[in-house]
Structure 1
Amino acid sequence: MLDQLLDQMTLEEQVALLAGADFWTTVAVERLGIPKIKVTDGPNGARGGGSLVGGVKSACFPAAIGIGASWNPELVREMGVALAEEAKTKSARVLLAPTVNIHRSGLNGRNFECYSEDPMLTSALAVAYIEGVQSQGIAATIKHFIANDSEVERQTMSSDLDERTLREIYLPPFEAAVKQAGVWAIMSSYNRLNGVWTSENHWLLTELLREEWGYDGIVMSDWFGSHTTEASVIGGLDLEMPGPTRDRGDKLVAAVREGRVPAETVKAAARRILLLLERVGSFADPSMHEERAVDRPEHRALIRKLGADGMVLLKNDGILPFDKAALDRIAVIGPNAAESRVMGGGSAQINAHYKVSPLEGIKSALSGTNRVIHLKACRNNRLTQMIRGEVSVEFFHGRDWSGPAVHSSTAEESQFFWLDMPDGSLNPRNFSARVTTRFRPEETGSHVFGLTNAGFAKLYVDGELVVDGETGWAKGDNFFGLGNTEVRVEKPLEAGRTYEIRVDYRAMPEGYEGIEIRAVRFGVEFPTSDAAIAEAVEQAKACDVAVLVVGREGEWDTEGLDLPNMRLPGRQEELIEKVAAVNPRTVVVLQTGGPVEMPWLDKVSAVIEAWYPGQEAGNAIADVLFGDAEPGGRLPQTFPQRLSDNSAITGDPRTYPGENGHVVYAEGLAVGYRHHDADGVKPLFPFGFGLSYTSFDWSAPRSFSTEMGPDGVTVEVKVKNSGKRAGAELVQLYVKPKSARLPRPVKELKAFAKLAIPAGQTATAKLSIGIRDLAYFDPQARDWIAEAGDYELVIAANAEDIRAVLPLRLVAEWREGGSAPPLPGVVD
């Protein structure tokens, strides 16, 4: 059917399929009944085709790092099914997820959006996610292909690494997605690989992906991530996104007519687009309904379960779980206590149906408010606090706010991100908008107003110009690097008085290259005072327990910006130290998208890493605090003692953040626990670490063979829950080669089993590996090689907690050839 359809298509029609129609949809060919389909972000929810902020509401699932911490493929598969259902409510056929880039530096702004530092764990979760999504007829899109492991100059940076490192650390999740899950779509990354854009890298997209791995799905660009006409099509990029086309269309037709691009190459790419349409059922049902907000109770329950299953108990002196009946007064303190930090920033963010804060969750768990004392104490936001309430916006033709308003709307907070114009008659290069709201301060004194904009903007208070976001405008660190650095101005305000806030925004004039979005964000806040921290300390001193909910939020953990360090921002460390000094029963709940340094660790009673657990955040956190749920998570990423312990942070800018447009992966295979094993650097918390509310007894592991055969080897470990409550235990299997011709990591994760065990009962972990799990990639031989000889199977609870070592022998050398030629651009 597809080939017949292809034969009826003109070259122009085939080319039309190879670029989007707009930001979220593909091109239809009505003459032949070829429908368009919609795609949607993202990893932790289906946003639909609206703005990155606001828009139709959706279910917000936990961020990927929390999913990685669950070590639970079965639950992730359920999440995939639910996300497919969410995509259908937005009339989308393609979900732009999962993100499977590796945790390299600990500072990546999208660290929260990725599963793990380990390729095996990442692969297992990605396969489950994809299988769940695609079981419902929705295409998953694994991304970002490849080595997009930092947000620093991500649209131009070249990730330079050798082929062995690429194949053993960064490619395995994509290989598993193709070979095991049969993924239907792949998204190329923004960066270059050894100097060549990934979106036109023939070695990557054609020789490796299609010819060696046998991939038959589509490859699409990241948004505005393609750069050429001929090179991208010949390289293997099928779909340029978003539309309308910039480098295809007439340019590609001319390239074919003039013999610069083979017609068969275009035809093959068009066929893959048609195959995607067939796979997602759009030929049988081409309809596209209005986006809907469908708040399903079963999705609420799953999100709450996923949130608790990914929370990691890092320290506990016995204070947790809390006994609800024994608490007379509980202090809930910190910048994340009353704020619902449910997700990271960037393209992963959605407009959640609702957001439960930790304070709300704790109050609900205690069936009332009279025992709970709350103080914010300090701030942790990167940008000034947005104004929440009714915010009105009017749109005008032209850049001078003249004439009648063309369109008007309201929002719930002072941030706007216009990917598409709200009215079709508005020219995105020649319009203006006027945003108005009110602000009533709670304290008298100097407040900070902040404004950041992609486009030009000015902020007025009661008609007085306070912040000028137009004069001297330059690209900065907001809105994916396309907005200016936030401009901040102090102004005295009186408590209880209502102020009129107005922001006049207008589009960039012609001539500003690279400005593809239109956005504005403004806020106002009263700076943290010594008095606020002192009051929190005094209140905490008088309470039975103090719960400090601290960390970061989606303005720090965000696409487009890496973190400056691994410390808690603002005065949060000071707050922890001072509260712990007056109340020894202090529990810290962290919300971060990756590891943090903890100079205060020895001074608190317990620490929970809660990540960004989705719209049920507060309920899931309360479930774990009060023991209604087990803290089921184990770290998917090593927490180093200090940033400098990370193998990518060498002090040489060439390894991080990059220099002269290149970042060199000089650490090679030494990522995460592999680095700590090799160098003996003791981490703060090792990979796979996590405590429980119960205890477990492990039996001696049993291997069914001491020789690796063609059917692999299975190891069984019986684990008894010797405590008084149900709990979850993680059993890991690492492979340790006794010797090798090439340098190898000390050990590498190759299998794991997470066991949910009722109190007093026993469960069996079955851990199976195959010959490929013994192998390394030899770039000279062009083979995966498992050398004949002796290996050890290391059975562990985490990367440092080794419970047993079993011998294994491979009698004869095994090879699996890599059919792609050597990776160009480096010398192995």
Structure 2
Amino acid sequence: MVVDFDELLSRLDLSTKIRLLTGADMWSLPPIPEIGLDRLVMSDGPIGVRGEQWSSADPSIALPSPTALAASWDVDLVRRAGRLLAREARRKGVHVLLAPTLNLHRSPLGGRHFECFSEDPYLTGEIGAAYVEGVQEGGVGTTPKHYVANDFETDRFTANVVVDDRTLREVYLRPFERVVLGAGAWGVMTAYNSVNGTTMTEHADLVNGVLKGEWGFDGFVVSDWTAVRSTEAAAMGGTDVAMPGPSGPWGERLEAAVREGRVPESVVDDRVRRILRLAERVGALRGPVPDDGAPVDGVALAREVAERGFTLLTNDGLLPLRDVRTLAVIGSAAGEARVMGGGSAQVFPGRIVSPLAGLAERAEVRYAVGTDPRIRLSPLARPATAVFLDEAGGVLAEQPLATAEARWLGRLPPGVDGDRLKAVRLRTSYPAEVSGDHQLSVAGVGAFTVTVNGTAVFDETVELAGGDPAMAFLSPPERRVRVPMTAGETYELTVTHPAGAFGGMAFVSFTLGHAVPSPGEEELMAEAVRVAGECDVAVVVVATTPEVESEGFDRTDLALPGRQDELVRAVAAANPRTVVVVNAGSPVEMPWTEEVAAVLLTWFPGQEAGTALARVLFGDAEPGGRLPTTWPRRLEDAPVTNVTPVDGVVPYDEGAFIGYRAWERSGRTPAFWFGHGLGYTTWSYDSIAAEGTSVTVAVTNTGPRPGREVVQIYVSDDSGRWLGGFDVVEADPGETVITTVFLPERAFQTWSDGWRTAEGEYTLQAAHSVADPRLSVTVKI
């Protein structure tokens, strides 16, 4: 049935139309039953679907980080991941997934790069388009974000990016152009920052002019949360929906602006049509989208994505492991994997397989912590109960939780009356296995009372430092207390925190952390060295922490936190058969790479981390990843680093020269180039031919086992080199595969008051990485 949007629009008065342009709450737009419009629910991603509750009571599949998705260079795999996320969204009643993130790895110091795909605009666009297509094939909308030039976190609400038109078009807008024109995205999210002096929620030139006008975008433009700070300017600037709501600068103020003639009603009508079109697409207007009936094994797909993204950086032949009886597994991240980045990307999976657990299925494992770089205590991994209390201490409701984490952002659990809610109490028990002084912690903002067996051990108010209120959820302050415990005894623990709902929205976020008594860093290090020396192979898992990679702040350096570099060197000295597993979402310095047998990058590997790691280390699966971003040897070598505004401004003076293009122009050599990654077999590049803008390459698997290769095509002229296309091929030993890569028109165009094909001679290279070209051919365009 064709929906007549104009007829529906004619049945709405101005107040109702205005109401539809602002959130009804934290995550949804209001229903309008008289025209058959249901609530439109949005949810954060991008590696899972959180839903309206930020709580372990509503678990989600947790895929690997977007950098891992991009490391696969596999658009079909990413499309399948998108379909899984669509099914997860529909299961949770979500119509729009607030993803993917298309900002670029301009500087290695970007704190949120794990949530972006790549330093390269073409690779970002292709992976992003596959993600959008997969999600939207499942009847769920996407909002590629953050439009545009939000490539850092420092002062993200107020920073002004100064960038010339050519760079904006050829680099930062290009992934958005790809997902709008090629993948047909149903939404776009505008960024907090300004571009050339105008905040993005008011940027008529880039939103009305480029996005809606030039590209013909017919979807809806939603602000990042709280990014709309004006009435007329944002309404006229192209923003369609101001989130969250219902309070904010729109509502009654926007209605008054329309009635007084400062904003034409036709502007409001255009925005309402876009929302109705979205509702029709996602089944919130004409009924639910039919289920395609295709079952998806989320656990198996999460494992497959992890394996395909794992990137083998070095290998002296030790991997895949063979005839290994005893395996030393070392590092705090081995026992408790960091499977996702911090911030709005966080979800609560129903299960997490740690590297320790996964490897214990394959060999006799001996575990040692070695060193623990974490600044905060991890939430107590025990089942807990959240108790919602009224003013008199009466119980409004209870909700079971998988761990001691209490989080509700926007919506309280069913049955909780926000007007009566005065406090939340987290209750759990802990059976001590070790005698001594245990540490308990509270991470959160506000007043907290912690009791152990009914006795208060902490009763204080915790203040938030800094000016970003989002940090209360993303990176709250922590306070600790020491509590003596006796092995064999069970301790009843509670944390009570005043809470309520404000304007119908809940803001509850705190955790109860725990750590067992520790013998001290020197003893832990010595134990790791001893265990490594006693085993056939040592696997050291090193990682960043939430204080290094998260939403809301940028990095200050690329060093692994704590004493992890020292740990790697000590273990490698004790056992030359040492594999280092790097559990990080974006580049870190690795000064010990030449001292170890192999380095495997797992990114943030998602919930099936340990299962995937065991399969890759023991050769059941090949590490399929290729770097989507260049890894510096040292931060000071990186050609582009600035992420901190000066007088409110971040100048993109380097133009199009970011990532590998900047490295090549600088003449410096990184630790690992864009596109690098090893497998468990070898490949020969046999022939190359070009016809117009298509390139045909023949490659042969010359190794002893089936393998996977990413054939990368680079285009070059006198101005430099850039990625023009790629394809993933698979072959058995001795098998030759022929692939044809079709290069897009943009690969040969530049921007100068419009797209212009730069006619002339180009060299096309078939390469294993940007630094490892194998074959070339010259074409004239």
Structure 1 gap segments, 5+ residues each: 650-654, 705-711, 739-743, 811-828
Structure 1 counterpart SS, 2:297: helix
- Cα pair 1:319 1:605 within 8 Å, conserved: yes
Partner of 1:709: none
Q: Classify 1:210/1:620 alpha carbon distance in 2 versus 1 (closer, same or farther; 3 Å).
A: same
Query: Aligned partners of 1:261, 1:35: CA distance in 2, in Å?
Result: 27
Partner of 1:339: 336
1:18 and 2:1 correspond: no
Deviations 1:416-473 (A, max 9, x none): 2221233666447972223333445555555554333233334445666655651655
Partner of 2:216: 214
- Cα pair 2:462 2:477 within 8 Å, conserved: no
Q: CA deviation at 1:49?
A: 1.5
Select 1:518's aligned residue among 499, 508, 526: 508
1:320 and 2:322 correspond: no
Query: Aligned partners of 1:761, 1:183: CA distance in 2, in Å?
Result: 39
Structure 2 counterpart SS, 1:802: strand
- Cα pair 2:445 2:461 within 8 Å, conserved: no
Query: Aligned partners of 2:294, 2:764: CA distance in 1, in Å?
Result: 46
Mapping 1:221-240, distance limit 5 Å? 221-240=223-242
Query: Aligned partners of 2:563, 2:11: CA distance in 1, in Å?
Result: 66
Select 1:693's aligned residue among 650, 672, 680: 680
Q: Classify 1:409/1:282 alpha carbon distance in 2 versus 1 (closer, same or farther; 3 Å).
A: closer
Q: CA deviation at 1:664?
A: 2.3
Partner of 2:181: 179
Q: CA deviation at 1:698?
A: 0.7
Structure 1 counterpart SS, 2:526: helix
Mapping 1:608-627, distance limit 5 Å? 608-627=600-619
- Cα pair 1:481 1:560 within 8 Å, conserved: no
1:65 and 2:64 correspond: no
Deviations 1:16-35 (A, max 9, x none): 21112222221111222222
Partner of 2:6: 3
Query: Aligned partners of 1:426, 1:456: CA distance in 2, in Å?
Result: 21
1:681 and 2:668 correspond: yes
- Cα pair 1:454 1:479 within 8 Å, conserved: no
What letter matches 1:313 in structure 2?
Answer: L
What letter matches 1:645 in structure 2?
Answer: D
What letter matches 2:529 in structure 1?
Answer: V
Select 2:578's aligned residue among 582, 586, 603: 586
What letter matches 2:183 in structure 1?
Answer: A
Partner of 2:735: 761
1:450 and 2:458 correspond: no
Q: CA deviation at 1:411?
A: 2.2
Q: CA deviation at 1:529?
A: 2.3
Q: Classify 1:415/1:299 alpha carbon distance in 2 versus 1 (closer, same or farther; 3 Å).
A: closer
Structure 2 counterpart SS, 1:336: helix
1:789 and 2:760 correspond: yes
What letter matches 1:486 in structure 2?
Answer: P
Q: CA deviation at 1:295?
A: 13
Q: CA deviation at 1:673?
A: 0.3
Deviations 1:714-765 (A, max 9, x none): 1111000011101111221122123xxxxx4x21111111211121101113
What letter matches 1:87 in structure 2?
Answer: A
Partner of 1:714: 694
Select 2:137's aligned residue among 135, 138, 145: 135
- Cα pair 1:477 1:484 within 8 Å, conserved: no
Range moving further from structure 2, 196-205 or 280-289: 280-289
- Cα pair 1:432 1:505 within 8 Å, conserved: yes
Select 2:45's aligned residue among 42, 45, 50: 42
Q: CA deviation at 1:480?
A: 3.0
RMSD: 2.6
Q: Classify 1:144/1:483 alpha carbon distance in 2 versus 1 (closer, same or farther; 3 Å).
A: closer
Mapping 1:344-743, distance limit 5 Å? 344-366=341-363, 371-398=364-391, 402-419=392-409, 420-422=411-413, 426-427=417-418, 431-439=422-430, 442-443=433-434, 447-461=438-452, 466-467=457-458, 469-470=460-461, 473-475=464-466, 480=471, 486-489=477-480, 491=482, 493-496=484-487, 498-507=490-499, 517-525=507-515, 526=517, 528-554=520-546, 556-649=548-641, 655-704=642-691, 712-738=692-718
Structure 1 counterpart SS, 2:398: strand
Structure 1 counterpart SS, 2:780: strand
Q: CA deviation at 1:248?
A: 2.1
Q: Classify 1:428/1:714 alpha carbon distance in 2 versus 1 (closer, same or farther; 3 Å).
A: farther
Q: Classify 1:378/1:600 alpha carbon distance in 2 versus 1 (closer, same or farther; 3 Å).
A: same
Q: Classify 1:295/1:434 alpha carbon distance in 2 versus 1 (closer, same or farther; 3 Å).
A: farther
Q: CA deviation at 1:555?
A: 5.4
Structure 2 counterpart SS, 1:701: strand
Deviations 1:376-409 (A, max 9, x none): 22223231222221333322334xxx43232333
Query: Aligned partners of 1:378, 1:464: CA distance in 2, in Å?
Result: 32
- Cα pair 2:320 2:619 within 8 Å, conserved: yes
Query: Aligned partners of 2:704, 2:367: CA distance in 1, in Å?
Result: 33
Q: Classify 1:584/1:428 alpha carbon distance in 2 versus 1 (closer, same or farther; 3 Å).
A: farther
Mapping 1:74-223, distance limit 5 Å? 74-223=76-225
Q: Classify 1:245/1:473 alpha carbon distance in 2 versus 1 (closer, same or farther; 3 Å).
A: closer
Q: Classify 1:476/1:731 alpha carbon distance in 2 versus 1 (closer, same or farther; 3 Å).
A: same
Query: Aligned partners of 1:211, 1:129: CA distance in 2, in Å?
Result: 24
Q: How many residues in Structure 1 have an aligned counterpart in Structure 2?
A: 772
Q: CA deviation at 1:481?
A: 5.2
TM-score scaled by length of structure 2: 0.93
TM-score scaled by length of structure 1: 0.88
Query: Aligned partners of 1:95, 1:205: CA distance in 2, in Å?
Result: 20
Structure 2 counterpart SS, 1:107: coil
Deviations 1:473-513 (A, max 9, x none): 54478953567852444536345255554323124999xx9
Query: Aligned partners of 2:361, 2:419: CA distance in 1, in Å?
Result: 46
What letter matches 2:314 in structure 1?
Answer: K
Query: Aligned partners of 2:314, 2:444: CA distance in 1, in Å?
Result: 42
Q: Classify 1:486/1:473 alpha carbon distance in 2 versus 1 (closer, same or farther; 3 Å).
A: closer
Query: Aligned partners of 1:316, 1:247: CA distance in 2, in Å?
Result: 57
- Cα pair 1:440 1:495 within 8 Å, conserved: no
What letter matches 1:686 in structure 2?
Answer: W
Partner of 1:29: 32
Partner of 1:310: 309
- Cα pair 1:452 1:478 within 8 Å, conserved: no
What letter matches 2:367 in structure 1?
Answer: H
- Cα pair 1:397 1:426 within 8 Å, conserved: no
- Cα pair 1:188 1:222 within 8 Å, conserved: yes
Q: Classify 1:467/1:567 alpha carbon distance in 2 versus 1 (closer, same or farther; 3 Å).
A: farther
Structure 2 counterpart SS, 1:320: coil
Structure 1 counterpart SS, 2:639: coil
Range moving further from structure 2, 3-12 or 673-682: 3-12
Q: Classify 1:301/1:508 alpha carbon distance in 2 versus 1 (closer, same or farther; 3 Å).
A: closer
1:748 and 2:722 correspond: yes
Query: Aligned partners of 1:412, 1:570: CA distance in 2, in Å?
Result: 29
Partner of 1:816: none
What letter matches 1:805 in structure 2?
Answer: S
Query: Aligned partners of 1:509, 1:13: CA distance in 2, in Å?
Result: 25
Query: Aligned partners of 1:489, 1:2: CA distance in 2, in Å?
Result: 57
What letter matches 2:373 in structure 1?
Answer: N
- Cα pair 2:464 2:472 within 8 Å, conserved: no
- Cα pair 1:446 1:493 within 8 Å, conserved: yes
Range moving further from structure 2, 233-242 or 383-392: 383-392
Structure 2 counterpart SS, 1:407: strand
